[in-house]
Chain A
Amino acid sequence: ETEITWWHAMGGDLGETVNEIAAGFNASQDEYKITPVFKGSYEETLTSGIAAFRAGEQPNILQVFDAGSATVIGAKGATVPVQDLLSENGVDFNIEDYISGVRYFYADNAGKMIGMPFNSSSPIMYFNEQALEAAGVEAPVTYEEFETVTAPALKAAGYVPLVQSHLPWEFAENFFSRHNLPFATNDNGYDGSEGTKILVNTDEFKMHWTHVKQWLDDGYFGFYGTGWNDNQAQFEQGKVGLWIGSSGSFGGLMKKDLPFDFSATNLPFWSSITEEGYQTFIGGASLFAMSGKSAEENKATAEFFRYLTSPEVQYMWHRETGYVPITTAAYEMAKADGHYDRFPAAETGIKQLMLTSGENTKGYRMGFYVQIRDVENREFSRILSGETTVDDAMATIEKEGNELLARFAKTQG
Chain B
Amino acid sequence: MKRAGFSTKWLPILLLLPQLLIIAIFFYWPALHAVTSSFYLQDPFGFGQTFVGLENYTHLTSSVEYLKVAKFTVLFTVLVTFFSLALALLFAVKADKVLRGAKTYRTLLMWVYAVAPPVAGFIGLLMFNQTWGPLSDLFKFFGWDFTLGVNYFDTAFAMIVVSVWKQVPVNFIFFLSGLQSIPRSVREAALLDNRSGTRRFWDITFPLLAPTGFFLLITNITYSLFDTFGVIDTLNKGEPGNNPMTLVYKVFVDGFRGNDLGGSSAQSVILMILVLALTVFQFRLIERRIHYT
**Bound pair (A, B):** yes
Chain A residues with a Cβ under 8 A of chain B: 41, 43-44, 46-47, 50, 53-54, 71-72, 74-78, 223-230, 233-234, 237, 368, 370-371, 374-375, 377-382, 384-385, 387, 396, 400, 403-404, 407, 410-413
- Which residue from chain A places its CB closest to the CB of B41 in the assembled complex? A410
Interface 9-mer from B11-19, B170-178, B217-225, B252-260 = B252-260
**What are 25 sample pairs from A and B whose C-beta atoms fall under 8 A apart?**
A44-B256, A50-B44, A50-B45, A71-B259, A75-B43, A225-B148, A225-B150, A225-B237, A226-B149, A226-B240, A228-B237, A228-B239, A368-B258, A368-B259, A374-B258, A378-B65, A381-B150, A400-B65, A403-B59, A404-B260, A410-B50, A411-B49, A412-B43, A412-B48, A413-B41
Cα–Cα distance between A122 and B47 once the two chains are bound (Å): 32
Beyond the given pairs A76-B47, A229-B237, A413-B49, 16 more chain A to chain B contacts, judged by CB atoms under 8 angstroms and listed by A's residue number, are A44-B256, A50-B44, A71-B44, A77-B47, A78-B47, A225-B130, A226-B242, A230-B130, A368-B258, A378-B65, A378-B241, A381-B242, A387-B242, A400-B65, A411-B42, A412-B48
Cα–Cα distance between A44 and B238 once the two chains are bound (Å): 10
User: Which B residues lie within 8 Å of A384 (CB)?
Assistant: 150
The B contact surface, by secondary structure, is loop
User: Does residue B194 face the partner (Cβ distance < 8 Å to A)?
Assistant: no
User: Does residue B46 face the partner (Cβ distance < 8 Å to A)?
Assistant: yes
User: Does residue B61 face the partner (Cβ distance < 8 Å to A)?
Assistant: no
The answer to whether A385 touches B256 (Cβ under 8 A) is no
User: Which B residues lie within 8 Å of A403 (CB)?
Assistant: 59
Cα–Cα distance between A378 and B238 once the two chains are bound (Å): 13
Chain B residues with a Cβ under 8 A of chain A: 41-50, 52, 59, 63-65, 130-131, 147-152, 237-243, 253-254, 256-260, 262-263
The answer to whether A223 touches B45 (Cβ under 8 A) is no
User: Which B residues lie within 8 Å of A396 (CB)?
Assistant: 64
User: Which B residues lie within 8 Å of A234 (CB)?
Assistant: 131
The answer to whether A75 touches B47 (Cβ under 8 A) is yes
The answer to whether B257 touches A43 (Cβ under 8 A) is yes
Cα–Cα distance between A50 and B262 once the two chains are bound (Å): 15
**Residue from the list B44, B50, B237, B260 in contact with A227, Cβ < 8 A:** B237
Distance in angstroms from A228 CB to nearest chain B CB is 7
- Which residue from chain B places its CB closest to the CB of A43 in the assembled complex? B257
Distance in angstroms from B44 CB to nearest chain A CB is 5
Distance in angstroms from A283 CB to nearest chain B CB is 16
- Which residue from chain B places its CB closest to the CB of A53 in the assembled complex? B45
**Residue from the list A370, A381, A400 in contact with B241, Cβ < 8 A:** A381
When A50-B44, A50-B45, A71-B44 are in contact, do A227 and B149 touch as well, CB less than 8 Å?
A: yes
- Which residue from chain A places its CB closest to the CB of B63 in the assembled complex? A400
Cα–Cα distance between A234 and B64 once the two chains are bound (Å): 33
Cα–Cα distance between A403 and B50 once the two chains are bound (Å): 15
- Which residue from chain B places its CB closest to the CB of A291 in the assembled complex? B45
Cα–Cα distance between A11 and B258 once the two chains are bound (Å): 21
The answer to whether A226 touches B243 (Cβ under 8 A) is yes
Distance in angstroms from A52 CB to nearest chain B CB is 10
When A47-B259, A71-B44, A225-B149 are in contact, do A371 and B239 touch as well, CB less than 8 Å?
A: no
Cα–Cα distance between A224 and B41 once the two chains are bound (Å): 36
User: Which B residues lie within 8 Å of A229 (CB)?
Assistant: 237
- Which residue from chain A places its CB closest to the CB of B263 in the assembled complex? A407
**Residue from the list B44, B64, B254 in contact with A411, Cβ < 8 A:** B44
Distance in angstroms from A42 CB to nearest chain B CB is 9
Cα–Cα distance between A78 and B46 once the two chains are bound (Å): 9
The answer to whether A41 touches B238 (Cβ under 8 A) is yes
